[in-house]
Amino acid sequence: MNITKIIAEELKVREAQVEAAIKLIDEGNTIPFISRYRKEMTGSLNDEQLRNLDERLKYLRSLEERKEEILRSIDDQGKLTDELKKKIEAAEKLVTLEDIYRPYKVKKATRASAAKARGLEPLAMYILKQDATEPLEKEAEKYVTGEIKPDSDSKADKVRAAAKEVKDAAAALAGASDIIAEMISDNADYRTYIRKVTVEDGSLTSKAKDKETRSVYENYYEYEELIKKVAGHRILALNRGESEKILTVSVKAPVENILSYLERKVITADNEFTAPFLKETVADSYDRLIAPSIERDIRSELTEKAEDGAIDVFGKNLKQLLMQPPIAGQTVLGWDPAFRTGCKLAVVDPTGKVLDTVVIYPTEPQKKIEESKKTVKALIKKYGITLISVGNGTASRESEQVIVEMLKEIPEAGVKYVITNEAGASVYSASKLATEEFPEFDVGQRSATSIARRVQDPLSELVKIDPKSIGVGQYQHDMNQKKLSEKLGGVVEDSVNEVGVDANTASAALLQYISGISSVIAKNIVDYREKNGKFTDRKQFLKVPKLGPKAYEQCAGFMRINDGKEPLDGTSVHPESYEAAGKLLSIIGCGIKDGAAIRDYDAKLKDRKGVAESIGVGVPTLDDILRALEKPGRDPREDMPKPILRSDVLDMKDLKPGMVLKGTVRNVIDFGAFVDIGVHQDGLVHISQMSDRYIKHPLEAVSVGDIVNVEILSVDQERKKIALSMKTENAKAAR
């Protein structure tokens, strides 16, 4: 199997690109490093392509290892032929490979193996010849043993004797049928056909175990849909309903077509004695052996595809959330709302330093509203607070009303507020990392601090939380956790490296996602900084314990030093390209800080290849150097939509169909997107209401963090449901 060719065809890129990427991965280079600093070698494969390549590479190499194991096993049995070897080597899927291996696999005790132990295999072979000239019972009589006496009265001898007994012709024929049924079941070609026709023409069905039970799965109480049309989110919903013992889910196969196919394959002669027997055996083989196995295979494959789709959506949502632009230069009051235990507040200065913490009780049951307002007003005046970040959890709505009333009383302060997704804040506040960061704080103070910092620098704060706890996916607890963790970890890594970090201020939690930096090295960087002062040169990284030349190569371009000895240290230009950058600046005739001249040169530059050759790099690296020099301190998050800052509040009862509001996309799922429109309850824009053009997935129209105009379609106060549209004339006109 040519792994390079297969991956190239799947990714629709050249084999040379795949070959180069595989070589770089095998040499221990990280995906962010390859994507950013080895573009000439890979033909500019981006991080998403490289991660897909890496995933397929691992799968196909694992497949090759399995092939070697199977070839050895069959060869040891003395059953390996050239034709079988070619078939195994050509297999491109694990399920295909296992189908081929099935007849040679050492099985646990089966009805067929028991029949073979009774010496009935020759009878089965006789029947399969299909040239019988008399009733099969007559041939079967030859295999009847009658009762076999054990060698002793011991239980073991009695069991052995009974295992060899064939009491009568009917028992002999039943055993022969079991042997033939297993042979049919083990045929790889039959299984391939049955699996394919079941997927093409079969249905997925579900029924309620108790129709009277009220649940969120009521849409699936009487459900049937073609397997090839079932959407991923429905697969995951059915799986959850089944695991919660509310639904019974099954595959409805085109049985008549399948049995007809098997009969044509197995019954090759119109023999009056063998044909009826084999027809019954075919039906038994399918019902007892093939159908349950194929159903497991199909449901497993459907689940895997659904999980992969959901994980992919989760990853894209997480990327958007991590890449939200920071609200810089603001002193923020983090507000962690609650009822009985009070609202925890934390004042954080523009650098993220905690200035003060306090607990107030404006909500039920204490409802000390005026006292709480007085406390917050004093904090605003004392610390110059300009923004309040309110968590969107329990008591958020009630807290928001108090905040709005208070802000109306002090308009001169010019304070705004923002509703912040607090998913994962409680997980962080009770974590070992939070305890180390704020040993003197309780969980409430830590949570309020996290909510404040999330608007100041979302990326730096969210990396402290397990990505699965951030809450921008669907059914995340039901899927393959290892695969989910790997995907989300890759998303965080790509996001952190895309933005880069300030080597002199970044936390260990942030640094450990930098290319080439482990959690141990991240802590060593922070320790080195604290003992020796700020880094003034990227070369100093090599003095950090355990940060050797390879790690330096991987991380240097992503770690920035502002106001250091070397101006290029504050850019994304890798130290290996400093000489080239210097030559480019000489050609342009300006200094590193003259971004306007560099942009002007870039706009006029025609002969990119010639210039690249003259400075000793490829065109992709030239382009990257130009981008870095044009705007040395540019943050890629600047291009993302800014959060909506509010000063007033709406109630759900204020909403009326036809109203057009501005909202923030909080989550994107397979069938739509949830949008925060400022009433505490997110509204749903169904996929059918997203665009005038046909879209296969909501991600084609929106992403987490997008600011969108939506029209209210309907409001269900009792069920707390709001239906929204983005495609109506009113919503489009508001854009």
For residue 456, the model assigns a pLDDT of 94
Which pLDDT value is given to residue 293?
Answer: 95
| CA nearest to 569, candidates 624, 509, 500 | 500
Cα 684 from Cα 674, distance rounded (Å): 5
Q: Is the pLDDT of residue 730 over 70?
A: no
Residue 649: predicted pLDDT = 63
Q: What is the DSSP letter of 646?
A: B
Pairwise CA distance, residues 133 & 189, whole Å? 30
Q: Where are the beta strands (DSSP E) in 442-596?
A: 501-502, 559-560
In the beta sheet, which residues pair with residue 391?
420
Q: Quote the pLDDT of residue 559.
A: 97
- For residues 191 and 440, give the distance between their C-alpha atoms in angstroms, rounded to a whole number: 63
Summarised one tens digit per residue, pLDDT across range 148-177 is 888 787 887 777 878 888 999 999 999 999
pLDDT (tens digit per residue) in 89-138: 999 999 999 999 999 998 888 999 999 999 999 999 999 999 999 999 99
Could you give the CA distance from residue 317 to residue 479 in angstroms, rounded to a whole number? 17
pLDDT of residue 1: 84
- Range scoring the smallest mean pLDDT among 308-312, 383-387, 602-606: 602-606
Residue 586 vs residue 158, higher pLDDT: 586
- Asked whether the beta carbons of 543 and 571 are under 8 A apart, the reply is no
Instruction: Tell how far CA 505 is from the center of its chain.
Output: 30
Measured CA to CA, the distance from residue 620 to residue 279 in angstroms comes to: 66
- Report, as an integer, the average pLDDT of 21-25: 98
From the CB of residue 176, how many other CB atoms can be counted at a distance below 10 Å? 28
Domains of the chain, earliest start first: 3-104 (1.10.10.650), 113-307 (1.10.3500.10), 332-456 (3.30.420.140), 652-733 (2.40.50.140)
What pLDDT sits at residue 373? 97
DSSP 286: I
Scanning 605-683, the segments in alpha helix (DSSP H) are 608-615, 619-630
Q: For residues 330 and 318, what is the distance between their CA atoms, to the nearest angstrom?
A: 24
Cβ neighbours of residue 304 closer than 8 Å, sequence gap 6 or more: 480
Separation between Cα atoms, residue 545 and residue 523, nearest integer Å:
10
pLDDT, averaged across the chain: 92
Residue 335 C-beta-side C-alpha neighbours within 13 Å: 33
Question: Per residue in 624-658, pLDDT tens?
Answer: 999 999 887 778 888 777 787 777 766 788 888 98
In the chain, the percentage of residues whose pLDDT exceeds 90 is 76
Closest CA to 221 of 237, 210, 230: 210
pLDDT at 441: 95
Mean pLDDT of 526-544: 96
Between the alpha carbon of residue 671 and those of residues 116, 240, 517, 667, 694, the distances in Å are: 54, 17, 38, 11, 13
- Of 681, 314, 327, 324, nearest to 469 by C-alpha is 314
Give the H/E segment covering residue 347. Answer: strand 343-348
Q: What is the mean pLDDT of residues 692-708?
A: 89
Task: Report, as an integer, the average pLDDT of 596-624.
Answer: 91
Tens digits of residue pLDDT in 28-56: 999 999 999 999 999 999 999 999 999 99
Instruction: Tell me the pLDDT band of 731, cut-offs 50, 70 and 90.
Output: low
Q: Which pLDDT band, with edges at 50, 70 and 90, does 347 fall under?
A: very high
Of 464, 447, 461, 460, which Cα lies nearest the Cα of 357?
447
Mean pLDDT score, 673-699: 89
Q: Which are the contacts of 352, defined by CB distance < 8 A and separation ≥ 6? A: 453, 456, 457, 460
Amino acid 31: pLDDT: 97
Higher per-residue pLDDT: 135 or 662: 135
pLDDT at residue number 733: 56
- Name which of 460, 455, 546 is nearest 509 in CA terms: 460
Return the higher-pLDDT residue of 222 and 717: 222
Residue 596 CA, chain-centre distance (Å), reads 41
pLDDT in tens, 197-212: 999 999 999 999 999 9
> pLDDT at position 676, please?
87
Q: Minimal CA–CA distance to 42: which of 466, 522, 51?
A: 51
Residue 389, classed as helix, strand or coil, is: strand
